Amino acid sequence: MTTTDTHTGARPAPPEGRDGGLALPPEEARQATNEHYELPSEVFMAFLDERVKYSSALYLTPGATLEEAQTAKLHFVAERLGLRGGECLLDVGCGWGSLTLFMAQEYGCEVTGVTPSTPQAEYVREQALRLRIADRVHIRVGSYSDLDIDGRYDAATMLGSIVHMPDRVAVLRKAYASLRREGRLYLSESCFRSAEVYREFASRPGTRHVTETIFGFADMVPFSQLIEAAESAGFSLERLDDLTAHYHRTIEEWERRAQANRERIEAAAPGMAEPLVRYLRTANAGWGYTSKHYALTAAKSRLGPKAAV
């Protein structure tokens, strides 16, 4: 059983691991994280877009709706991965299935989604049946670190999921092993803007409200640590995209919808509306000051990106 601080309800901060991250067994991290992700789907439907996509959108025009921006983001991920149609894709931390279902439906990919949450898995399977793409969608339930994943994939995605996994190097080595030669990885994550800021702000109350009270476990590190972990896993780095402004606008819209739908959120999960709104405000207040949101594209290639001819 995980103990809590009797005064604040927050978990004591776990010790640091060898790479500067938090040392926590993957199963304990999974159980802690599921306290958030196993909330009723109605909570997330009350403030996310119609695909229930719980990560940054991509606003290509000033007047774009959240739904349009989330669709643009999914096409952006497909472009970064070089998808042309029919590929075999691994979606680590598939959430409510937005990317898994989109790539199967729009690009004809065979997609394996991984989630630690049984309610999420059931939801994605139901949606795959509804969309008549169940033959192309396979959902694995459990901690990614503990699952047997073969090496047949053309591409892998991790959108906002590695923050919940204590051993980043091991996770990225596993992703590397799951890819065929020249396979690509798309990884996006919110992070502290520098190691100095990480040391200063990681234990502050606002940060711990997000990483522990809301998410159960999340180790939001400087992106340089994720780049180092990707390189240690064997990946060749291809691109780095700064999506901070897009995530700021995404969360603004999430907060607007959460405020407008407080009654729906409370009906689904009593007592959740206020912490959720506080989380969204805290997250948005830090962009550019303490935090950034980057996307990394990397390849399983010793030679790196091919030159244009």
Residue 203: pLDDT band by 50, 70, 90 thresholds? Answer: low
**Residue 164 pLDDT:** 82
Residue with tokens 């599921």: 34
* Comparison of pLDDT for 205 and 166, the residue scoring more: 166
pLDDT tens per residue, range 93-148: 999 999 999 999 999 999 999 999 999 999 999 999 999 999 999 999 988 988 99
Distances (CA, A) of 159 to 124, 165, 182, 264: 16, 12, 20, 27
Lowest mean pLDDT across 22-26, 236-240, 264-268:
22-26
pLDDT band at 85 (very low <50, low <70, confident <90, very high): very high
**C-beta pairs of 202-211 under 8 Å, 24+ apart in sequence:** 203/13, 206/282, 206/285, 206/286, 208/10, 208/13, 209/275, 209/278, 209/279, 209/282, 210/279, 210/282, 210/283
Of 248 and 302, the structure prediction assigns the larger pLDDT to: 248
Condensed to tens digits (0 to 9), the pLDDT of residues 53-78 reads 999 999 999 999 999 999 999 999 99
Q: In what order do the strands lie in the sheet with 137-141?
A: 137-141, 110-115, 88-92, 153-159, 179-192, 291-299, 236-242
- In this prediction, residue 21 has a pLDDT band, given cuts at 50, 70 and 90, of very low
Phi, psi (5° rounding) for residue 270? Answer: -55, 130
What pLDDT does residue 309 have? Answer: 37
Q: Which domains does the chain have, with CATH numbers?
A: 26-299 (3.40.50.150)
pLDDT score of 42: 94
pLDDT at 20 (0 to 100): 45
pLDDT band at 7 (very low <50, low <70, confident <90, very high): very low
Reported as a pLDDT band with limits 50, 70 and 90, residue 14 is very low
Question: What average pLDDT is seen over the chain?
Answer: 85
Task: Quote the pLDDT of residue 143.
Answer: 87
Region 198-221: what's the mean pLDDT?
A: 61
Distances (CA, A) of 306 to 79, 95, 97, 237: 16, 32, 32, 12
pLDDT value for 166: 75
- For the cut 60, the answer to whether the pLDDT of residue 214 exceeds it is no
Over 50: is that where the pLDDT of 37 sits?
yes
| Residue 243, pLDDT score | 97
Q: What distance in Å separates the CA atoms of residue 57 and residue 49, rounded to the nearest whole number? A: 10
| Radius of gyration (C-alpha) of the chain in whole angstroms | 18
Task: Considering only residues 175 and 221, tell me which one the structure prediction assigns the higher pLDDT.
Answer: 175
